[in-house]
Amino acid sequence: MAEINDSIDLDQLINGSENAKVRVRLPEGAGGGVVSGFTQENFSIAGAASFEGKQVGHFDQFDGVAGAAAMVGNSLGADIGNFTSLSRPATNRRWTSSDPVQFPINFMLISYRDGMDIRKDAAKLFRCVYPAGSATDAVGFDVAMMAPMGYKYSINEAQNTVTLQVGKWFEADGLLVDDVMVEFSREITQNGSPLYANVSLTLSPWRMVYADDIVGYIGG
């Protein structure tokens, strides 16, 4: 993570390239508005899919032929192990699932104007991962808790989710915050609040996305 003392040019970060800016648009359940920060790191998107071998009973006829060929080959003096009873079609792999995509990102919150207090933005981010309200608001004996941000969903729609923007080239909505870590600086402002904070954030869509969705996020 970046440090304010690592010869970072604050003026360049704040007024420079738009692609250094990170915006997290929050629902009212997390305080609303936009948490804005700056990044000097690359932004990674990774995908993964699972493929398995054939199902039981698929291509058994080919396996039978392969098994017979193996027996003949071995009976004719071929080295044991040179032939297999497994046919090539039986090695066909089928798609079973794709892993949900995640968007991990690191950025900085900076108090670059008088009166700014980055603790307010940090508090909004924490509201994205902890139950809404407080213990005194809980029903009964702290049994019922509300989802962070007031998040709720139906079959085809989700409410109170997050939108992530990186520069002018990436934007994804309908996100949930999987985890957040905020590291506050020792340096403080004249108001007594931290001068800056390093934020590590991981977001993911509220449900499985399709290839066209991913392409749309990056503007491809």
Q: pLDDT digit string (tens) for 27-42?
A: 998 889 999 999 989 9
Which residues face 46 on adjacent strands? 102
Q: What is the pLDDT of residue 159?
A: 96
Helix residue ranges per DSSP H, 35-158: 60-75, 118-126
Q: pLDDT digit string (tens) for 70-111?
A: 555 555 555 555 555 666 777 888 899 999 999 999 999 999
Q: Whole-model pTM?
A: 0.79
Residue ranges per structural domain of the chain: 10-48+99-217, 51-95
CA distances from 7 to 13, 36, 136, 179, 196 (A): 12, 21, 46, 29, 14
CB 74 within 8 A of CB 142: no
